[in-house]
């Protein structure tokens, strides 16, 4: 039988290999002589230490070094992905620094690094993540950045995607400088940022190209909200609505927001606060509320919003724009039921109301409560209620 794959052009074979982890791409050398050197020309490098058995630490280090040193400087590395689960005490930060420098010298466009928190990568002042004119995507997780003269090295003119999760920075000003150095940023994730010195007086410049963002409420709170108030999509984790200056001049409405996801990982929330927040999202079309999985017990704080009273006015977005509402990890509390009914009764253009049961709760309220939910009269004639278990 004819080997059609082997007869494909080198460029196409390298493209196919770019979708494989680098370890598996190298393993194709056993197929035939044709495959012996193809992996050296693949523009994507993907390393994950979980695929190395035995002496994981030394084998993984040797493998990454061998691959990088085998490549010519003239061969670009468009994408570099590194997943490392080795304990910080075993990971010499000089290794990672060398690898990053080697990749950046080869005109990297996409860098995605996930290390154990917090691995202290020492970024050199002459060559670092934040002074690269070719990068388009930068994703960092579990990294501690020790930078001198931080504001003088940030220059990322092409970066459109910036994800920073569980990252240690010198101070809030350092993060502000990073964002300032990304003038065309479209997609931002800032979760669990930590600072050696916390200073919340630093202002953030509005990013004109920013379309979507995912943020943790702490520790940047209102300063981060100002930064993302122009986006179309927003995911906020553990927001404390009580700290938002409603009605004041310190915050503008989320006038472009069409989809918002409110994620709660353990913080309590009040349903009336959620409704109040929606007043500042006049064009919202999709509302997603993700509650944490629980074992069936509720804290005093969680019960706080059960007896809330319907407000006298209805947010504009619910009346004229809201099309879809998702309520995840529904536990059957009175507050949840009242919120779902409030949305259905006032959403003139609501098309879909989706309720997803919390799998950690064995029994979801009383059967009559479920019947009441399905019997709620919807304001919209086209509204459909979906209940998922």
Beta bridge partners of 260: 234, 287
Angle at 82 between CA 78 and CA 83, to 5 degrees: 150
pLDDT cut 70: percent of the chain above it: 76
H-helix or E-strand containing 105?
helix 93-105
pLDDT at 109: 94
C-alpha to C-alpha distances, 120 to 37, 80, 89, 267, 320, nearest whole angstrom: 35, 19, 10, 30, 50
Q: For position 13, what pLDDT does the model report? A: 85
Model confidence at 300: pLDDT above 50: no
For residues 120 and 94, the model is more confident at: 94
pLDDT band at 367 (very low <50, low <70, confident <90, very high): very low
Higher-confidence position of 268 and 106: 106
CA distances from 259 to 44, 287, 289, 346, 358 (A): 33, 6, 11, 18, 23
For tokens 């990068």, the residue is 135
**Mean pLDDT taken over the chain:** 80
pLDDT > 70? residue 244: no
In angstroms, how far apart are the furthest CA atoms of the chain?
76
Counting beta carbons within 10 angstroms of the beta carbon of residue 305, is it exposed (0 to 12), middle (13 to 18) or buried (19 or more)? buried
**How many Cα atoms within 13 Å fall on the side-chain side of residue 23?**
16
Residue 275, pLDDT > 70, answer yes
Q: What is the pLDDT of residue 148?
A: 56
Q: Where are the domains of the chain?
A: 76-210, 232-389
pLDDT-wise least confident of 117-131, 208-222, 340-354: 117-131
Average confidence (pLDDT) over 190-195: 86
Give the span between the Cα atoms of 177 and 205, in whole angstroms. 9
User: Does 92 score more than 60 pLDDT?
Assistant: no
pLDDT at 190: 92
Please give the C-alpha separations between residue 276 and each of 36, 237, 280, 317, in angstroms, as whole numbers. 63, 17, 8, 12
What are 311-352's pLDDT values in tens digits?
888 999 999 999 999 999 888 788 888 899 899 999 999 999
Helix (H) or strand (E) holding 353: strand 352-357
Q: What are phi and psi of 371, to 5 degrees?
A: -65, -40
Regarding predicted confidence, which is higher, 382 or 187? Answer: 187
Buried b (16+ CB within 10 A) or exposed e, 168-181: bbbbbbbbbbbbbb
Q: 6-17: per-residue pLDDT in tens?
A: 777 888 888 888
184 pLDDT higher than 50: yes
Q: Is the pLDDT of residue 237 over 90?
A: no
pLDDT tens figures, 138-161: 999 988 776 554 556 788 999 999
Burial class (CB in 10 A: 0-12, 13-18, 19+), 76: middle
Strands 79-83, 324-330: pairing kind? unpaired
What does the block give as tokens for 268?
A: 């309590």
In this prediction, residues 57-65 reach a mean pLDDT of 83
Nearest to 345 by CA among 369, 311, 303: 311
What are the φ/ψ torsions at residue 19 (nearest 5 degrees)? -90, -5
Report the C-alpha dihedral over residues 18, 19, 20, 26, rounded to 10 degrees. -20
For residues 235-251, b (16+ Cβ closer than 10 Å) or e, as one string? bbbbbebeebeeeeeee
Q: Whose CA is closest to 25, among 5, 39, 40? A: 39
pLDDT top residue among 109 and 330 = 109
Q: Please name the residue that has the structure tokens 């388009």.
A: 136
- Using the predicted structure, report yes or no on whether residue 3 has a pLDDT greater than 70: no
* Confidence band, pLDDT 50/70/90 cuts, at residue 379: confident
**208, burial (CB in 10 Å: exposed 0-12, middle 13-18, buried 19+):** exposed
């Amino acid at each position: 039988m004819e080997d059609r794959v082997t007869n494909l052009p080198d460029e196409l074979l390298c493209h196919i290999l770019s979708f494989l982890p680098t370890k598996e791409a190298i393993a194709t050398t056993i197929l035939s002589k044709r495959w012996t050197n193809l992996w050296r020309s693949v523009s994507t490098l993907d390393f994950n230490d979980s695929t190395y058995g035995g002496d994981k630490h030394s084998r993984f280090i040797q493998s990454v070094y061998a691959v990088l040193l085998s490549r010519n400087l003239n061969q670009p590395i468009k994408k570099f992905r590194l997943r490392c689960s080795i304990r910080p005490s075993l990971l010499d930060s000089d290794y990672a620094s060398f690898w990053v420098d080697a990749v950046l010298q080869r005109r990297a466009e996409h860098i995605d690094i996930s290390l154990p928190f917090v691995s202290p990568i020492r970024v050199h002042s002459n060559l670092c993540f934040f002074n690269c004119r070719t990068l388009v995507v930068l994703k960092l997780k579990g990294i501690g950045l020790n930078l001198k003269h931080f504001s003088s090295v940030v220059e990322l003119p092409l970066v459109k995607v910036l994800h920073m999760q569980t990252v240690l920075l010198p101070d809030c000003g350092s993060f502000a400088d990073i964002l300032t150095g990304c003038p065309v940023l479209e997609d931002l994730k800032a979760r669990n940022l930590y600072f050696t010195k916390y200073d919340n007086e630093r202002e953030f410049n509005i990013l004109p190209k920013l379309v979507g963002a995912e943020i943790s409420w702490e520790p940047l709170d209102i300063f981060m909200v100002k930064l993302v108030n122009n986006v179309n999509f927003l995911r906020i984790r553990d927001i404390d609505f009580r700290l938002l200056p409603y009605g004041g001049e310190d915050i503008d409405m989320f006038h472009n927001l069409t989809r918002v996801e409110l994620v709660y990982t353990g913080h309590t929330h009040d349903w009336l606060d959620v409704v109040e927040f929606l007043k500042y999202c006049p064009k919202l079309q999709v509302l997603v509320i993700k509650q944490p999985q629980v074992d069936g017990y509720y804290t005093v704080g969680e019960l706080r919003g059960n007896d809330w009273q319907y407000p006298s006015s209805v947010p504009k977005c619910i009346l004229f724009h809201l099309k879809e509402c998702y309520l995840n990890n529904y536990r059957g509390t009175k507050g949840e039921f009242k919120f779902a009914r409030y949305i259905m009764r006032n959403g003139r253009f609501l098309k879909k109301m989706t309720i997803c049961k919390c799998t950690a709760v064995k029994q979801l309220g009383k059967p009559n409560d479920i019947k009441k939910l399905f019997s709620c009269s919807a304001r919209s004639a086209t509204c459909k209620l979906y209940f998922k278990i």
